Amino acid sequence: MRGLVDWFHREGADLPWRRTRDRYRVLVAEAQLQATPVGRVLPYYERFISLWPTAADMARADLGEVLAEWQGLGYPRRARNLHAAAGVVAVSGWPDRLTDLPGVGAYTAAAIRCFADGEDVLPVDTNAARVVARRFPGGWPGAPGLGWEAGQAIMDLGRLWCTARAPRCEQGCPMREGCPAADAGTVAELTPVRRPQGRYEGSMRQRRGRLLRELADCGWVERDRDPEAAESLVADGLARARDDRLVRVGGGV
């Protein structure tokens, strides 16, 4: 474990959400990083933190504004949940059980505990699960006193070295020494199969995204343009129906 942490200190990526231990900022980063690569998230994270540096700032913002800034990141339910979670925190503080917050599941709760609070808890997403299966087949051993560093190191390892498709075991992986999967030649077997994503072109995701983009630009759009997508946005609380129009949601806390 010491080797992993030392490597992270030497070569870990310098990311803006690693320069804070603020729970809200970690939550913003984690919401944006779900299903979106780091490189794409960077400008969005910076923009969100400059617009809404605290949970109270975001809670005061209009949901429509937050959704407009989210344009291009995809999966806008994440923005709605983030806004709702900020509202809860602004009004009542952080709940004892972080999973009580909208949109916060076991992974995000663990990420807040590890990356904001520095607890020795590993947030296990697909990448971390893969790294642990290969490098720590007996299960994550923990890193007392080094939870933050170890958690961040596993994230970098899974993203840059111990990848699903092209693990770089023999190209300098910092955890190669003593790696059970690499030694046994079972790396490929220990790669969870990902469910293939459906086509984006013509999908409901694309149609909803199109309407949301127009809402962000103009504030309204005819529901007739795509009644089914419009209805699903309304059902998800991402837009409102007003007569024959779809309009932006509003109303901060």
Is residue 154 within the footprint of ligand SF4 (CB under 6 A)? no
Q: Using CA atoms, how far apart are residues 107 and 97, in angstroms rounded to an integer? A: 13
Written as one string, the DSSP assignment of 32-92 is: HHTTS-HHHHHHHHHHHHHH--SHHHHHHS-HHHHHHHHTTS--THHHHHHHHHHHHHHHH
Is residue 4 within the footprint of ligand SF4 (CB under 6 A)? no
Q: Of the listed 11, 30, 46, 170, which one is catalytic?
A: 30
Question: In this complex, which beta carbon is closest to ligand SF4, that of residue 8 or of residue 161?
Answer: 161
Give the bridge partners for 221, in sequence order: 246
Interaction residues for ligand SF4, span 81-140 (CB under 6 A):
134-135
Give the Å distances, CA to CA, from 29 to 70, 153, 197, 243. 12, 17, 23, 37
Q: Using CA atoms, how far apart are residues 173 and 186, in angstroms rounded to an integer? A: 16
Q: How many CB atoms lie within 10 A of CB 12?
A: 16
- Cβ 164 to ligand SF4, closest distance in Å? 10
Q: Which of 27, 66, 121, 181 binds ligand SF4 (CB under 6 A)?
A: 181
Is residue 167 within the footprint of ligand SF4 (CB under 6 A)? yes
Question: In this complex, which beta carbon is closest to ligand SF4, that of residue 94 or of residue 136?
Answer: 136
- Catalytic, 30? Answer yes
Place of tokens 């296990």: 124
Is residue 169 within the footprint of ligand SF4 (CB under 6 A)? yes
Place of tokens 């111990």: 162
- Cβ 244 to ligand SF4, closest distance in Å? 55
Question: In this complex, which beta carbon is closest to ligand SF4, that of residue 30 or of residue 149?
Answer: 149
Q: Which of 44, 45, 140, 161 binds ligand SF4 (CB under 6 A)?
A: 161
Q: Using CA atoms, how far apart are residues 127 and 159, in angstroms rounded to an integer? A: 7
Give the Å distances, CA to CA, from 210 to 44, 89, 239. 19, 31, 13
Q: Which of 18, 77, 159, 176 binds ligand SF4 (CB under 6 A)?
A: 176
Question: In this complex, which beta carbon is closest to ligand SF4, that of residue 93 or of residue 185?
Answer: 185
- Cβ 73 to ligand SF4, closest distance in Å? 29
Is residue 175 within the footprint of ligand SF4 (CB under 6 A)? yes
Binding footprint of ligand SF4 on the chain (CB under 6 A): 134-135, 161-162, 167-169, 173, 175-176, 179, 181-182, 187
Active-site residue list: 30
